[in-house]
Structure 1
Amino acid sequence: MISFLITIVVFLLMECVTWLTHKYVMHGFMWYFHADHHQPKYNHVFERNDIFFVIFAIPSIILFYFGVEGGMNELFFIGLGITLYGFCYFMIHDVLIHQRFKWFKNTKNKYLIGLRKAHKVHHKHLGKQDGECFGMLFVPFKYYKI
């Protein structure tokens, strides 16, 4: 039971980590990597922004490694919470919103439509300043209104 709670709490905390990282790192000193994500699309499979998937995977890999050493411990479930969040982020951000994979093109789900609206507002700013809606899975309620 405690392992499930650790996983869920870490998953939820990752939204805060994502918001802070997106606002102060990706729109801050690592803007070079994130900038192409805010620019008009070119026909490339990868963006420089994709480096963040690798950067964010490293803590999970380390936690999994030390979490199975000598039997399953809390570190494994912390890594699992981070990984599950990363999977959801990928599905929402890259699949649903940016349609990098054409799996879920038409949805009528109010929550998913709200996420799309909030992210569209985030992308109306092409530069690193004046951004808004830095989270991914939890956005202001005003975006859920039709």
Structure 2
Amino acid sequence: MNFLIVLVTFFVMEGMTWLIHKYVMHGFLWTLHRDHHDHSNDGKMERNDYFFAIFAIPTIALMYYGTINNFNAYFYIAIGITLYGMAYFFVHDIFIHQRFKILRDTKNPYLLAIRRGHKQHHKHTGKEHGECFGFLWVPVKYFRMYFNKNKT
């Protein structure tokens, strides 16, 4: 049962990420997210990086509360959120934005579709008219671009 809680939480986080990205980061907290779009940081830390702490605080609280209460469901929800956050860091910061220069020449159609969807998101430098707010799932058209290339 605990594994199921972790798994469901991980996948629910994709929907939460879409909502938070679209309505919070491109909404009332645009002042923190803006430098991620205008690339004014020259590859250094961004104000956008504060979202790490903003999202970590409730997760740490869930983990703490779940731990002191005999590892109840809150603990496993926190584990699911943490795993999603780790995946987000590796895919978004390392793979897509190349904060560390690895996985540059991948031929994996899934990873290429994710990268393409994110590039489409970043073609808009303002907070309006955005697209592709998801992270691990982007519109199907991007998956088709790369999965169909492999068919003869």
Q: Is the structural similarity TM-score above 0.5?
A: yes
Alpha-carbon distance in 1 for matches of 2:13, 2:41: 30
Distance of 1:24 and 1:116 partners within structure 2: 22
Aligned Cα root-mean-square deviation (Å): 1.0
Spell out structure 1 runs of 4+ moving beyond 2 A: 40-45
Residues 70 and 20 of structure 1: CA distance in aligned 2, closer, same or farther (over 3 Å): closer
User: Can you give the 5+ residue segments of structure 1 that lack an aligned partner in the other structure?
Assistant: none
Correspondence 1:50 to 2:49: yes
Aligned residues: 145
Partner SS for 2:129: coil
Partner residue of 1:26? Answer: 25
Aligned equivalent of 2:110: 111
Q: Which one-letter code corresponds to 1:17 in the other structure?
A: M
Q: What percentage of aligned pairs have identical amino acids?
A: 56
Aligned residue number for residue 97 of structure 1: 96
| CA positional deviation for 1:83 | 0.3
AA aligned to 1:86 is G
Determine helix, strand or coil for the equivalent of 1:99. coil
The one-letter code of the counterpart of 2:134 is G
Q: Please list every run of 5 or more consecutive structure 2 residues that lacks an aligned counterpart in the other structure.
A: 147-152
Residues of 1 paired with 2:7 and 2:48: CA distance?
27
- Counterpart amino acid of 2:29? M
Quick one: distance in 2 between partners of 1:41 and 1:100? 15
SS of the counterpart of 1:138?
coil
The one-letter code matched in structure 2 to 1:104 is L
Deviation at 1:140, TM superposition (A): 1.2
Question: Does the residue aligned with 1:130 lie in a helix, a strand or coil?
Answer: coil
C-alpha contact 2:35 2:41 (8 A) present in aligned 1: no
- Residue 71 of structure 1: how far off its partner (Å): 1.9
